[in-house]
């Protein structure tokens, strides 16, 4: 197997959402798939209002 064949190889992941929706996605590595799922979870928490983005620090230490 040549180097270019190893680079182009993708892994397929079956991602199941909270509503039961199933999506098949291709990623080059497990880490990339984990980042994708983490981003989906983060966006969901934002929509639910459980995460807020603040422009000021919550605690200031001296």
Report domain extents, the chain. 3-47
Computed on alpha carbons and rounded to an integer, the radius of gyration of the chain in Å comes to 18
Question: Is the model's pLDDT at 32 over the cut of 70?
Answer: yes
Sign of the CA dihedral with 24 first, then 32, 51, and 56 last: negative
What is the predicted pLDDT for the residue at 46?
A: 84
Give the DSSP letter of residue 27.
Answer: E
Sequence-ordered list of residues with C-beta below 8 angstroms from that of 43, at least 6 positions apart, any chain: none
* Single pTM value for the model: 0.61
H helices within 1-62, ranges in order? 3-8, 30-47
Q: How confident is the model at residue 19 (pLDDT cuts 50, 70, 90)?
A: confident
């Amino acid at each position: 197997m040549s180097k270019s064949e190893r680079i182009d190889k993708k892994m397929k992941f079956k991602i199941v959402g909270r509503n039961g929706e199933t999506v098949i996605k291709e990623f080059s590595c497990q880490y990339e798939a984990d980042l994708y799922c983490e981003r989906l979870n983060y966006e969901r928490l934002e929509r639910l209002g459980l995460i807020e983005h603040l422009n000021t620090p919550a605690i200031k230490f001296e």
